[in-house]
Structures are given as structure tokens and as C-alpha cells.
Structure 1
Amino acid sequence: MKFSSSGAYRTCSDAALLDALRTDEEGAFAEIYSRYSYPLFTLAYQKLSDREAAEELVQDLFTHVWSQRNSSQVQHLDRYLFSAMKYRIINYLKVRKVKAAYELYCRLSTAQVDVDTATEDGLALHDLSAALRASVQQLPAKSREIFQLSRLEHYTVPEISVRVNLSEKSVEYHLTKSLKLLRGYLREFLLVTLPLLAFLK
């Protein structure tokens, strides 16, 4: 996404930029991006400590701003952008947490744990493996299939849409539903996910 910036917009207020954006003025969008992209990136990077993820969240937010430019009802640009970024950060962290737990489940599902001679850590891993396996199996079949394609096989939403013969909106619905259900199923066990990941390294 590239837009040529125009000096004519540099002294405009946020309200004026929003008005211009609603009439497809690329220069206004470029100025908004120039004005807010770095502060938003800084916020995301401080929370995630991941430059690539922070950059992706910024790009996702501005892609959304541009795509919704004609129907936007935003009144306070700075308030909207920072609120939207905080929401994306929270959602990213939730997704990352569930993904880490599910990947741990996959690792544990192939591990051989001798319960008779297991240490306390081994027993904890065995219990968590069982809980994670049960949680994933509780997902509806279609949601489970789409979740695995997205989080484990790393297919994009458009690619999944073709594979399962559903619209992209339906795929996104199943992913959102899966994450919500897994957060509920794994609420207690996610508290020990990070220590266990460190233990396995």
C-alpha cells in the first residue's frame, strides 16, 4: 500500500484529514499514515517486543482505515487509532497464547511419559496434554479443521476458503469461534503454558 504524500495536508487538522479521506484523497491518507504510523508501531512494539508483529498490526490497521474510508464515522482520529491498535494487540496476544498452548499439545501428544517413574514435572505435562487434547476435540468438526489449517499448517484465510469450500467470512467466523471456545476450555491450563514451554526447550 503506497500513497504519495502531499505537503498540502501537513498543516491540516485530523478532522480535515478525515473529511478528505472520505472523498478518496490519497494525500490525506498518506498524511494520516505519516502522522500516526510510528507512534502506533511504538505502542505495539512496547507491548509485543516483536518488530515484525508490530509492523503487521500497523499495516493491518491502516489497511482497514483505507478500506472503510467512505463509510467511516470516526470523529476523533487519534483516539480511534490508538483504541483500535490496543484492541489488535490484545487480540494478537490472545491468539498467540492459544496457539502456543495448542502447539504444546501437539508436542506432548507424541511424547512418551512413563507415569510410573515420572517426575512431578512429567506428571504435569501428562495432565496438560490430556486437557489440551480434550479441549481441541470439543471443537465442532468444521471449526477444528479450519483451526488446524490456520494455526498449525499456516494456510491463509483465502487458501482455507478454497480448501473447505466456504466463504472467507465463514472461515473467519470459524477461527473466531475456535479461539473463543479454546480460551474457555483452556482457561486454567494456559496459566502454566509459558513455564512448560521454557521447561521443554
Structure 2
Amino acid sequence: MAKYNDLTDSELILLLNEDNNAAFKEIYLRYDKLLYLYAYKKLRNKEEAKDVVQDVFTWLLNHRQDIHLKVSLSAYLYKAVLHKIFDIFKHKGIIKRYAESGEHYIELESVETDYLIREKDISSLIAQEIAAMPPKMREIYILKRKNYLSTKEIALQLGVSEHTVSTQLKRAMKHLRIKLGLVAYLLWILKI
């Protein structure tokens, strides 16, 4: 067999599906630094950028047998990193909004334990807003934002038109924009 660094991304994914650890190592070596630089440019925080990339590779390794890409591996990895970055921005935006509202006392320079408690509360708030969506809207939103399916794939899977999927996604983002504030609105505008 050829050296792993001579293989295409598609060949590496096929090997990764078969639990080939050397294929995962090659994917990691090929994209780790590039993804880190991309994350760092967006976040301007070395530790957060490292964590985002680590989370993406951990997810890739844990789901290696289920990965069937319809896009290039690089596009998939960059999009996964971008989604993680926007999750961080969402969390920061909600913390800032709470702090500015004066409804809750939040010291932004607090100890790590307090941060973890607030982060759990914020995650719970986001989950509640997603759960509050009408069932079909929620299903479409989850397929798009968490399962990374395209509008066409969602339409085929649910047996509805692509227009219906697009309309439901726009309504879901409007719902989140109203409930969660500016960061969710930016996600909707960027249509990631």
C-alpha cells in the first residue's frame, strides 16, 4: 500500500471508516495546524482555538465508522470548526447580554467554577429555546445545524420540498435571534 501521506482525503476517509488509526493520524497531521490557524484567526485565543480543533478531531475519531462525506474532507472539517467557533460566540454573547441586563449578577472575571456553572445554564437556555420550536422546525434545525445535512438532503429525508426546508430554517433562526440575541442573528445572516 502507498504511504498514507500519498493518499487522497477520500481514500483516508474510507480507511478511517474501517478503524484504520494510521489514516486518522494522517488526517490529523494534514489538517491540525491549518484548522488551528483558522480557529485562532476567528477567536484570537490560543487555548480556545486548540480546544475547538481538539473537539473536532475527537468527534471525527468517535464517529469514524459513520462518516460518509458529501463534500471534501477539508470543507467538512473547516465547517465543523466554524460551527464550534459560533457556539463559543453564542455563549459569550449570552453572558454579555446577561451582564448588561443587570437581571443577574455575573462577574465576567470570575473563577472557573462559576464559569462552568454559568456555561451549563447557558447551554440549558439554548437547549430550551430549540426544544420550544415547533416539532418540524426543530427537526429541520437539528438536521441542518447538528447533523450538517444540506437543505436538499433534509428535503429528501423528510419528504418535503427544499423551499419548505429553507422556510423552516429561516423561521428557526428568527426564533433564536429573538430569544437569544445578536449572535444567533449573525448566524442566520451568514447562513452557515
If you compute each CA radius of gyration, which structure gives the higher value, 1 or 2?
Answer: 1
The answer to whether 1:177 aligns with 2:127 is yes
Percent of residue pairs bearing the same amino acid type: 28
TM (norm. structure 1) is 0.54
Once the two structures are superposed, what CA deviation does each residue of 1:43-73 show, in whole Å capped at 9, x if it has no partner?
Answer: 1100110000000000000000011100111
Number of the residue aligned with 1:40: 35
Cα distance, 1:155 vs structure 2: 5.0
How many matched pairs? 130
Cα deviations across residues 134-176 of structure 1 (Å, max 9, x unaligned)? xxxxxxxxxxxxxxxx99451599xx8xxxxxxxxxx997353
Q: Distance in 1 between matches of 2:13 and 2:38?
A: 22
Which residue does the alignment assign to 2:169? none
List runs of 5+ in structure 2 lacking aligned partners: 105-111, 131-174, 183-192
In structure 1, the partner of 2:4 is: 9
Q: CA deviation at 1:177?
A: 2.0
Paired position in structure 2 for 1:138: none
Change (3 A) 1:186 1:78: closer
Say if 1:153 and 1:94 are closer, same or farther in 2 by CA, change over 3 A: closer
Q: How does 1:1-201 map to 2 (within 5 A)?
A: 8-75=3-70, 76-102=72-98, 104=99, 128-129=101-102, 132-133=103-104, 152=114, 154=116, 174-178=124-128, 184-185=178-179, 187=181
- SS state at 1:70 partner: helix
SS of 1:73's equivalent? coil
Cα distance, 1:35 vs structure 2? 0.4
Contact 2:91 2:122 in 1 (8 A): no
Query: CA deviation digits over 1:72-117, x for unaligned, max 9?
Result: 1114211111111111111211111112333x26xxxxxxxxxxxx
**Helix, strand or coil: the match of 2:64?**
coil
Give the conservation status (yes or no) of the 8 Å contact 2:12–2:24. Answer: yes
Residue type of the partner of 2:51? E
Distance 1:151 1:101, change over 3 A: farther
Any stretches of 5+ residues in structure 1 without a counterpart? Answer: 1-6, 106-127, 134-149, 161-170, 189-201
The amino acid of 1:41's aligned partner reads Y
Q: Which segments of structure 1 move beyond 4 Å, counting only runs of 4 or more?
A: 178-183
Kept in 1: contact 2:4–2:22 (CA 8 A): yes
The amino acid of 2:81's aligned partner reads M
Q: CA separation of 1:73/1:156 partners in 2, compared to 1, >3 Å: closer, same or farther?
A: farther
RMSD: 3.4
CA drift of 1:178 comes to: 4.8
Letter in 1 for 2:127: K
